[in-house]
Each structure stands twice: as C-alpha cells, then as structure tokens.
C-alpha cells in the first residue's frame, strides 16, 4: 500500500525529522524523513540474508538471458523504515525489509541486483519502458494497477492513519471516511491513499457534513512537518510505516489503526517472464524460515503471508 518518497534531500533540519513512511502502498504501498531533534533509526544488526543460498529449481524458472547475464535491475523507493531507508546517509547502503527481501530473492535465484534509487511515483511507469526489471516500494496490489502491472506478493500491509499526539479532532480508529469530514488530510502523491481519498471525497456531502480537504506532498518531511505545525490534522499512509513511526518517541505521532489491508508485492511490467521465478523464490524463503526472520528483524511479523501469489485480486 503507502506506500511514496523522493530521494532524501532538503535542509539539515528536515534531515533530522523521525522517519515516516508514505508508500507503497501507495503503496506507495512508500520516503521517510522526520521530527526535529530525532536521528535516523539505526538498522538492526542481524543478517538473516547471509545464509541464503541459490536454489536451482527456482533459478531454472528465470529466462535464459537473465541467467546468463546474472543480474537484475531494480528500481527502489528508499527512505523510510521499516521498508527501506538510509540509516547511515545516502552515500551508504540502504537497509530495510524491502532491501532484505529483494536481496534474499536474488540469492535464491543466483543473480545479483543493480539497485537504483527512484522516487515512488516514477517506478511503475518505468517498468513498462524497460528501465527496471522489477520495482520495490511497498506497492499495494489494486485492481487499477493490475491492469498494467504484474505483482508477486511478499507481505500484507495497507492503509492507516496517524495524528499528532494530543490531537483532539480525531481520537478513535478510522473505520469510515466520514470520520474525516471537516479535517485536512496529508498524504503522498501517486499513492493508493491519494486515490482512495479522491475517489471517496463525496461521502461527506452525502452525510450532510463539511468535506475533508486533501493535501498531497511529494516528500515525507513536508508531510510530517505540516502535521507538527498544525497545517494538516491527520496523515494517511502505510500501516507498518505509521506504526513504526509512532513507536519512535521523538516523532510525537499516534497511530490510529488499520483502515484497509492490501497485499504488497514486487512489481513487474505486464506479462513479465520473471514472476514465476520470483514467486518460487519468495515461497522458498517462507518455507526455509528466512522470511520469518526478516520480518521479525523489522518488526513486521503481523504482516506475514503464508504463500506468495502472482496477481491476487485486490482486498475488498
């Protein structure tokens, strides 16, 4: 689902803001930056990917030219934990759940990864042009995206809401968008969150209430700053990202719970010959326990799936 980010940039003050995920599901299923006075969360030190080995039966599902080349190009939306972020600066290697899972899949398939940092909203269009072989960024599986994109699922995340601690306008879990009537919501451009809010904007008028306002940001630092300064009342983003953020005391945000679950997957151009190999690789990681260890490392075990699927229908 969440979730969105562009390359971490901006002022030093923004670079010190607590990390926020807007993804991908936007899934934007999803970059993060954050609250003044906080530092980027250090990455966990355990490495469940280190022991992963090539599995010939899965690797045999790759096209012959890929096996010969021995590498795949991945467009990665990097910037927020627990999905993908830069714990030690953009000149160092990224870390996160998406990074570990992609690296583990590549090891199962016996190929290397050529990772390119890209803004969330540019990755899916670039798959069709052949710029990347696949994309990561907490991309939520939706009916609309399935028209042009193939997915291989690896986690179940989705849409949630968060407010600034002490917020009095919205205290309860959001189960209906009419609870947002009269409020200003911040979210990321090109995400499932923006699509959901835009599509349902008429619910307030039908309920005889003042409509909600949607503010769209291309950088997470700007979204969180807007929340802290009172220019928006609530943020809509990924469940795992907002939950992670709320656990960081310096962020001063409160997670309001899940709104809508979405499968999240590696993204490919429609008709990609890579999907069967990726599904086999993810299922191998699930079966051998590596998958569970990666999710435990990043605190996302509650979002585990039992088996990877190609192009499952959107959750209703």
pLDDT, tens digit, 9 for 90 and up, residues 279-309 = 999 999 999 999 999 999 999 999 999 999 9
Looking at residue 116, its pLDDT comes to: 95
**Alpha-carbon 311 to chain mean position:** 17
Residue among 122, 161, 131 nearest 246 (CA): 161
φ/ψ of residue 157, rounded to 5: -125, -130
What pTM did the predictor assign? Answer: 0.81
Looking at residue 24, its pLDDT comes to: 40
The low-confidence residues of the chain, meaning pLDDT below 50, are 1-39
CA–CA separation, 159 and 237 (whole Å): 6
Looking at residue 31, its pLDDT comes to: 40
Looking at residue 120, its pLDDT comes to: 85
pLDDT digits (tens, 9 = 90+) for 135-170: 999 999 999 999 999 999 999 998 999 999 988 888
Residue pair 295/191 in contact (Cβ under 8 Å)? The answer is no
CA–CA separation, 248 and 38 (whole Å): 9
CA 277, 283, 284, 285 torsion: positive or negative? positive
Looking at residue 40, its pLDDT comes to: 54
Looking at residue 27, its pLDDT comes to: 46
CA dihedral of residues 228, 193, 301, 284 (deg, nearest 10): -140
Looking at residue 312, its pLDDT comes to: 97
CA–CA separation, 77 and 139 (whole Å): 10
Looking at residue 28, its pLDDT comes to: 47
Residue pair 76/118 in contact (Cβ under 8 Å)? The answer is yes
CA–CA separation, 132 and 126 (whole Å): 7
Looking at residue 123, its pLDDT comes to: 94
């Amino acid at each position: 689902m969440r979730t969105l980010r562009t390359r971490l940039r901006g002022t030093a003050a923004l670079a010190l803001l607590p990390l926020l995920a807007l993804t991908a599901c936007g899934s934007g299923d999803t970059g993060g930056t954050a609250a003044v006075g906080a530092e980027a969360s250090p990455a966990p030190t355990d490495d469940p990917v280190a022991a992963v080995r090539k599995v010939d039966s899965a690797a045999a599902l790759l096209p012959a030219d890929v096996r010969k080349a021995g590498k795949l190009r991945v467009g990665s939306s990097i910037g927020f934990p627990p999905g993908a972020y830069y714990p030690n600066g953009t000149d160092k290697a990224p870390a996160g759940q998406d990074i570990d899972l992609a690296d583990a899949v590549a090891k199962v398939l016996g190929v290397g990864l050529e990772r390119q940092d890209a803004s969330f909203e540019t990755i899916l269009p670039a798959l069709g042009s052949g710029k990347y072989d696949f994309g990561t960024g907490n991309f939520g599986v939706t009916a609309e995206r399935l028209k042009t994109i193939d997915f291989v699922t690896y986690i179940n995340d989705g849409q949630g809401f968060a407010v600034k601690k002490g917020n009095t306008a919205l205290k309860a879990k959001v189960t209906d968008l009419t609870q947002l009537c009269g409020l200003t919501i911040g979210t990321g451009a090109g995400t499932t969150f923006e699509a959901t809010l835009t599509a349902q904007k008429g619910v307030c008028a039908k309920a005889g209430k003042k409509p909600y306002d949607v503010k769209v940001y291309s950088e997470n630092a700007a979204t969180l700053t807007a929340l802290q300064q009172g220019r928006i009342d609530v943020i809509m983003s990924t469940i795992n990202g907002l939950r992670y953020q709320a656990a960081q005391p310096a962020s001063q945000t409160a997670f309001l719970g899940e709104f809508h679950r979405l499968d999240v997957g590696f993204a490919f151009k429609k008709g990609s010959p890579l999907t069967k190999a990726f599904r086999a690789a993810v299922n191998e990681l699930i079966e051998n326990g590596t998958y569970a260890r990666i999710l435990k490392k990043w605190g996302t075990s509650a979002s585990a799936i039992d088996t990877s699927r190609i192009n499952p229908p959107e959750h209703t």
